[in-house]
Amino acid sequence: MSRDSLNEEAERAFEEGQAHLESGRHEQALEGFRHAAGLFATTGDRERQCDALQAAAMLCVRTDRGDEALAYLAEIADLLRAEGDREKRAMALGNLGLLLARQARLEEAIDCFEEAHALFEEAGNRFAAAQQLGNIGSACRDLDRPDAALDHYHKALAVYIQLGRTEQVADQYTNIGYAWIMKDAPAQAVGWYRKAVELYAETDCEPKLQMTRQNLERLTTTLGDAAQ
């Protein structure tokens, strides 16, 4: 079979996978994406191979098949290393890190986030690089390392302020506040939560606004006059 014919078959397999996915037939969808990935690998079309693997990975995430999703994402990252596509590889590593974090494999997640951060910096994508700093901070928080969490949250915050990303600035304020609570310094957290409330109100982030207000109310009630 010619390369063009294989590509056509691969595209059909991918489209069939999408159709099965839209109809809720997850096993058939996964088989379609796997078949498409294999065919694209045969033709040497790494970009479309990654697309098919990404679709398979996201389906596995949706269906709580975390180990399979990890395998697909790791394969994507390896393929993109060979392609030399820094930004796409960074995206794959960031997704891989998030999934590892969900599985409480936090040290491995940090490794992925750190590499993703470096690649995004090289690609000039400061926003995505800052997201990885925040991810590292949250992994450190979950490892009960509040000082390391604060360091990374502040680094992410500085970039978001420079970029004018108001919602993300507020997110870091809440992260920093929580890290101060971890350090048994709730009075320090109050100011950060107050600033977050102000910014969430400006950006109409209602769910985040309500949650942060509730956290702030609990803090101020507990601290009493010390919260002033």
Confidence (pLDDT) at 123: 93
Total residues found in the chain within this entry: 228
pLDDT of residue 85: 80
Identify the pLDDT of residue 3.
82
- Per-residue tokens: 24: 């809720």
Report pLDDT for 98. Answer: 96
Count H helices and E strands in the chain, helices first: 11, 0
CA pair distance 75, 93, nearest whole angstrom: 10
> What's the pLDDT band for 24 if we cut at 50, 70, 90?
very high
Q: What integer pLDDT is reported at residue 226 of this predicted model? A: 54
**Reported pTM:** 0.87
3-class DSSP string for 42-96: HHCCHHHHHHHHHHHHHHHHHCCCHHHHHHHHHHHHHHHHHHCCHHHHHHHHHHH
Q: Of 72-86, 96-110, 124-138, which range is least confident?
A: 72-86
Q: What is the pLDDT of residues 92-108, one digit of tens each?
A: 999 999 999 999 999 99
Architecture of domain 1-84: Alpha Horseshoe (1.25)
Q: Is the pLDDT of residue 196 over 90?
A: yes
Residue 7 has pLDDT above 60, yes or no: yes
pLDDT of residue 4: 80
Q: Which of 52-66, 76-90, 138-152 has the lowest mean pLDDT?
A: 76-90
CA of 125: how far to CAs of 41, 116, 228, in Å? Answer: 29, 11, 40
Residue 228 has pLDDT above 70, yes or no: no
Mean local confidence (pLDDT), 10-38? 96
| Under 8 Å between Cβ of 183 and 219 | no
pLDDT confidence of residue 224? 66
The answer, yes or no, to whether residue 216 has pLDDT greater than 80, is yes
- Cα–Cα distance for residue pair 136/145, rounded to 1 Å: 11
Q: Locate CATH 1.25.40.10 in the chain.
A: 1-84
pLDDT at 114: 98
- The arithmetic mean of pLDDT across residues 81-85, rounded, is 76
Class of domain 104-164: mainly alpha
Instruction: Tell me the CA distances in angstroms from 135 to 42, 112, 187, 193, 224, one per residue in order.
Output: 36, 10, 25, 19, 33
Between 4 and 173, name the one with better pLDDT: 173
